[in-house]
Structure 1
Amino acid sequence: MSGLIKRSGIIVLLLSGFAFVHSTQPDDFSALLIPLGEVSDSNGILASLDALVQEIDKKERELSSLEHQAHGTFDKAANERIRKARAELREQQLLFERLVVDVDVSAFSEKTEVKFDWQQQVGKLLEPIMAEVEFATRQSRAIGELRAQISTITEERDISSQALANLDKLVGDSVSPLLNERLEKMRKLWKQRFQSAQDRLNALNNALENKLAEQQSPFDASVTYLRNFLRTRGQNLLLGIIAFCAVFFGIRFLMIAWGMIWKHKKKGSRLVFICIQALRILGGVAAMLMVFSFTADWFLLAVALIFLIGIGWASFKTLPQNIEILQLMMNTGAVREGDRIVLDGIPWLVESIGLRARMVNPLLDGGVQMLPLKMLLGKYSRPPGESEVWFPCRKDDLVQVDGKTGRVLSQTPSAVQIAEVDGALNIYQTPAFLALNPRNISANLRVAITFRVDYKHQAECTTHIPEVMLSSLKRELPEIVDPANIKNIFVMFKSAGLSSLDYEVWVDLTGNAALDFKVVEFHVHRILVDTCNKNKWSIPLNQVMIHQG
C-alpha cells in the first residue's frame, strides 16, 4: 500500500507540473519525481494514472500533427520540434510504465551509445578547480572588466565628440534648407550617442571607484581566502588526511599485531608483504577520496585525482626503473641480501632489503645506513670471501698512509682521523683514504733497507760480509727495541750493481714496535755503517737507498 501511496504522490506532482515539463528538456522529468502528498485510496491512484494517460495521448496527437505538417519539407526548426516532442513522449511513456509496475524499467530501455570524449572528461574534472580560481580572482577580474569597458566607452565618447564638432561646423553654413534639416537630424543622433556614452562612462567610473574602495590589499585578501579555505575545505582536507592515516597506519598496526614483519626470506612472504604495502597506500588514498566525495568537496577531489593521474603517468614513464626496484624488494635483483657491495669506494654488507636497504660495515663507527632502493639501481653485489676484510684497519691501529705513520683515532663512513707520531692530526675522507692504499702495521711490520759496499770487497761479498752485518744487527738491535718485538733479521746479497755490491736488510717486528719504526730504521743504518768502519769496508758515494718493504 505504501508503494501505491508513493506513486500517487509522484503522479500528482507530474500532473501539476506538465505545463513546466513541456518547456524543459527530457532530462528534467527526473527532477519532478518528488512525492508531494499521499493518496489514501486506490481510486485516487487510478484517477491520477488516467490523467497521465490523457496527457500521453495528447502528446501523441501533437507529435502526429507536427510530423504531418513537416512532411516533405526540410525546415530545421520543425524537425527540431519533432525531435523534442518524440523525446518528451518517450519520457512520459517510460514514467507511466515505471509508475504502473513500480520497478526499475531502465534495464529494458534502449541504451544510447555515448562516444567517450577524453577532452570533455578532462574539462569536467577541471571545472571545480577553475571555479575555485574564478572565485578567488572574482574581484580583480571584475575590476579588469570594468576598466576594459571604460576604455571602450571612452573611445566611443571621443568619436561621438569629434563627430559633433565636425557637424557643428556644417550646420547653419549650408544654403539648402533640406541639407540643414538632414544635418540637424544627424547632429541630434550623434548627440544622443555622445550623451549615452557619457552616461555609461559615468556609471562605469562610479562602479570602478566602488570596487576599488572594496578591494582588499593582497595580504588581507590572502589572509581572508586562507581563513575561508581552512573553515570550509580545510576541515574536509583534515578529514581526508585522517582517513588516509587511519587506513595506512591501521593496516601497519594489524601487521604488527599479527606478527607479519619483515623476517621471512622466502619469495612468497616477500610478495605478500609487498602486496600489503600496496594495499596500505591504495586503501589510504581510496579512504581520502571517499571523504572528499561524501563531503561533496569536488575541488579537493579534482585536485587529488589530478595528482594521482600525474603520479600514475610518472610511474608509467619510469616503468623499467620501478620493475628493477620491485626485483630488489623480492631479493631477485642485482643486489641481494648477504652480499658485499662497494658504494663510493667503501665496502658494505647488504644486511636486509625491504622498502629500504640496510647496509652495514662492522669496522666503521656508525657503519649502518638505510638507503632508498633507488640508490641501488645500476649497482651489483657479490658474495663476500670467507676471510675478506671490510676495512684495512680498526680504531687504535697503526697505519702508514701517504708517507706518514700514525694511529687511527676514528673511522666512520665519512672520514678517518689519524694522529701522527709527532702529534699532528690528519683527516681523510674515507673514499680518499682507501684510495691511498693504507698499510696496517699494527700486527707486523718490516724495516727494509738496501745497503751498498764497494767492489774492492768482491771476494768476500757473499760470505763474510753478510754474516758480519747480521751478527752486528742481532747484537745491537735488542738494545734499542724490546727483544720480544723482534721477530727476524735478514741480511742477503741482492745483486751486483753498476758501481756497488748491493745487500737487502730486513728487520721484522711485531705491532708493539710500530711506533719505533723510524727509530729502528735509523739505527739499522747506523749499525751497518759502524760495521763497515770497523772492518775497513768502503762505502761508495750515493750508496744509501732506504725503502719500506
Structure 2
Amino acid sequence: MTLCKLTFAFLFALLLPAVYAQTVPETKPLAPVTAQPDESPSSEELMQALLTAIKEIEKERAELNQQLKRTPDPAAAQQIREQLEPLDQRLRDLQNSFEEMVTGGHSLSSLIDKTEDTPFNWQQELEQIVRPLLDELKQLTERPRLMERLKSEQAVQEHRLQLANEAITELEKTLEQTKAPLVRQSTQTLLEQWQDQKENAEGRLQRINTQLTRLSASSDDIGEELTTRLQTFASGRGLNLLLAVAGFALVYLTLTGLGRLISRFPNRKREPGTRRMARAVALLLRGFTVILALFATMLILYVRGDWLLLGLLILLTIGLALGLQKSLPRYVKEIRILLNMGSVREGERIVYNGIPWRIASLNIFSTLYNPLLHGGGVLRLPIDQLVELQSRPYSPDEPWFPSKEGDIVILEGDIYGKVLIQTPEIVQVQIVGATTTFRVADYLGKNPRNLSQDGFAIPIVFGLDYQHQNTLLSDIVPTLRTYLEEQLAQQPFQPHLKALLVEFNEAASSSLNLLIVAVFTGAAAEDYWSIRRFLQRTTVSACNHYGWVIPFDQLTVHLPTPRQPALPSLKELT
C-alpha cells in the first residue's frame, strides 16, 4: 500500500475508537444504516480493511527496524526512532479498533493492570472515594446525555458522508473525461482518499445508528428501569443506610437512658466533691456513648460490605475530630461549667438581663428559675451564654423581683398602678384603668415602690398659724390625733392601719408645721390615694371644728424710718 493509504488507515483507526468509546457495553451486531445503503460496506469489509492496514504498517515497521540495525550514524538512528514512534501508535490503535469491532466494544488493554509508583495524594484518594457516589447520581441522566451526544455525532457524520459522496461523484466524472496520464494519476489518488473518508464516515454512522436504535428501544421501559433502580437501592445501599442509622440511634438511646437511670439511684444529698465527680463521669459517659454509637454504625456498614458509606462516615468522623481539636480551647470554660467547677455553679444566684435567677441545672441547655415571674419563670439558656457570667450563693430572704403579679406599685414617685403580668421580657401594669406594657429593663429603671409587699406609710405636713404657739404642743397635737383616730374608725381601710403618728415637725417662716404619718399594711394598697385624700380632708375638718387658723404665705416688707430735720442752733435763732 502506498503512503496515502497508510495515512488514511491511521485516520480511520483514530476516529473509530473515538465513537466506540461513547457506546454502551454489549452492543448488538452492526447493521448498515447509511444515507446510501447500496454503497455502504459491510462489517466484514471494514474488518478486512483494518487487517490490511495493520499488515502494511507491520511491514513498514519491520523495514524501519532493519534500517535501524544497519545504521551506524547516531543522528540517522534517532530519525528512524522518531519515525517508528508514530507507527507503533498507529499499529496499537488499529489493533484496538479491530479488537473492539470484533468483540463488540471490548479490549484486552482494559484488563491490563497499570500500576505506577506515584506519590500519595489525599485529594485524589478522596476523589476516588466520592466518585462512586457521584457516578451513581450521574447514571440517572446517563441515557439522555448519551443520546444527545450520539445525535450530534450522527449529524456530523451524515454531513461528512454527503460531502464525500459529492466529491467522489465529481472525481469520477473528471476521471472519465481526463486523458492525460499525470492528471488521471492525481485524480485517482484523490478519489482513493475520498473513498477512504466515505468508508470511515459510513462505519462510524453505522455504529451510531445501531446504538441510537438500542437506546431508543430501551427508553420505552424507563418506568420499569426506574422501579428496578429504586428496588435495587432499597435492597442495597438504602437498606445499609437505614440499618446504620437505626444502629446508631439504638446504641445512643440505650446508653443515654441507662446513664439517666443510674443517676437517679442515689436520692440523698451528696457532698460538693462527690457531685463534681459525678458530673465528670456523666460527661465522659456521654462522650463514650457517641463514640460507641459511631463504632456500631461503622461495624454495621463493614459487615454489610458497603465501602462507599463506610468511607464517607470515616471521612466525616475525621473531619469532626479535626474541627473539635481546633476549637477545643474555646470550650474549656464550658466544660468547666458543665463539671460545676466554673464561675457559674448549680444552685446559686445569677443576674441575667437585669433579673436575678436561680440556677436549677447546668447542662448543654441550662435551666434558670425565678419564682416571681409568670409561669414559674423558667428560662433555658445555652451553655455558651453563661461563660462570661458569675454566680454567688444567696440568702433565703433575698428578693427575686421587686413585685409579683397583683401587687400595687408606684413608679417614679407618682405613677400608680397594679401589676397584671410579669415575664422575663415584659411587665404589664394597669395604670388609671389602662394597661401599660414595659420592658423589664425599663420597669426596673423606674424604681418601682411596692405598696403591697411590706405595707406603706403616707406622710403629710400640715401648718398652723403662729397664734397657736402657746397651745400647740400641749393641746392641739393630742386633740388632732384623737380626732383622726375617731374619723379613721369609720373608714373601710381602718383594719389595715398599723400606726398613726401626729407630732410637731418644725417652725417654718410663716407657720408651725405638724407631721402626720399613717402606716398601713399591704392589704390597703389599693386605697393609697383615698387614704392620702382622707388625711388632708380630715385635718382641715379638725381646724374648722376647733377654730385653728391655717396660715398662708405672707411677705413682710420693712421700710426705713424717715430722718427728722435738724433743729436750728441758738446762735442761728439769735
State yes or no: 1:488 paired with 2:506.
Answer: no
State yes or no: 1:383 paired with 2:393.
Answer: yes
SS at match of 1:347: strand
- The more displaced of 135-144 and 162-171 is 162-171
Amino acid in structure 2 at the alignment position of 1:213? D
State yes or no: 1:269 paired with 2:278.
Answer: yes
State yes or no: 1:232 paired with 2:226.
Answer: no
2:351 maps to what in 1? Answer: 342
Within a 5 Å distance, the mapping from 1:191-202 to structure 2 comes to 191-202=198-209
Larger Rg computed on CA atoms: 2
Amino acid in structure 2 at the alignment position of 1:189? D
How far is 1:510 from its partner? Answer: 1.7
Q: Deviations over 1:51-96 (max 9, x none)?
A: xxxxxxxxxxxxxxxxxxxxxxxxxxxxxxxxxxxxxxxxxxxxxx
Amino acid in structure 2 at the alignment position of 1:134? D
1:537 maps to what in 2? Answer: 550
Within a 5 Å distance, the mapping from 1:377-526 to structure 2 comes to 377-385=387-395, 387-401=397-411, 405-408=416-419, 411-413=422-424, 416=427, 422=433, 433-442=443-452, 443-448=454-459, 464=472, 467=477, 473-474=484-485, 476-486=487-497, 487-489=499-501, 506-526=517-537
1:189 maps to what in 2? Answer: 196
Q: Deviations over 1:18-66 (max 9, x none)?
A: xxxxxxxxxxxxxxxxxxxxxxxxxxxxxxxxxxxxxxxxxxxxxxxxx
SS at match of 1:342: strand
Distance 1:171 1:163 in 2: 12
Distance 1:211 1:494 in 2: 113
Q: Deviations over 1:341-375 (max 9, x none)?
A: 12233211123334553322233432344544233
The answer as to whether partners of 1:396 and 1:408 remain within 8 angstroms in 2 is: yes
Distance 1:334 1:309 in 2: 33
- Residue 213 of structure 2, aligned match among 206, 209, 214: 206
SS at match of 1:338: coil
Q: Deviations over 1:497-522 (max 9, x none)?
A: 9x999887643322121111121122
- The more displaced of 345-354 and 427-436 is 427-436
Distance 2:338 2:361 in 1: 10
SS at match of 2:220: helix
Change (3 A) 1:184 1:255: closer
The count of residues paired between Structure 1 and Structure 2 equals 419
Higher relative contact order at CA 8 Å, sep ≥6: structure 1 or structure 2? 2
Change (3 A) 1:354 1:191: closer
Distance 1:307 1:338 in 2: 39
Change (3 A) 1:451 1:309: farther
Within a 5 Å distance, the mapping from 1:91-110 to structure 2 comes to none
How far is 1:295 from its partner? Answer: 1.5
Amino acid in structure 1 at the alignment position of 2:148? R
The answer as to whether partners of 1:447 and 1:507 remain within 8 angstroms in 2 is: yes
Distance 1:459 1:200 in 2: 133
State yes or no: 1:288 paired with 2:297.
Answer: yes
TM-score normalised per structure 1: 0.62
The answer as to whether partners of 1:154 and 1:197 remain within 8 angstroms in 2 is: no
State yes or no: 1:248 paired with 2:258.
Answer: no
Distance 1:144 1:462 in 2: 118
SS at match of 2:457: strand
The answer as to whether partners of 2:427 and 2:439 remain within 8 angstroms in 1 is: yes
- The more displaced of 313-322 and 339-348 is 313-322
Distance 2:230 2:470 in 1: 97
1:22 maps to what in 2? Answer: none
Distance 2:192 2:364 in 1: 88
Q: Deviations over 1:372-418 (max 9, x none)?
A: 42332322222224632112233443333475545555555465555
Q: Which runs of 5+ in 1 are unaligned?
A: 1-112, 542-549
Q: Deviations over 1:105-125 (max 9, x none)?
A: xxxxxxxx997653355345x
Amino acid in structure 1 at the alignment position of 2:156? E
The answer as to whether partners of 2:502 and 2:514 remain within 8 angstroms in 1 is: no
Amino acid in structure 2 at the alignment position of 1:293? Y
Distance 1:294 1:317 in 2: 33
Distance 2:515 2:157 in 1: 110
Q: Deviations over 1:210-251 (max 9, x none)?
A: 35434459xx95x76555433333433343344334443444
State yes or no: 1:303 paired with 2:315.
Answer: no
Change (3 A) 1:224 1:181: closer
Q: Deviations over 1:167-200 (max 9, x none)?
A: 7567646854344434433442343344345434
Percent identical pairs in the alignment equals 25
The answer as to whether partners of 1:157 and 1:197 remain within 8 angstroms in 2 is: no
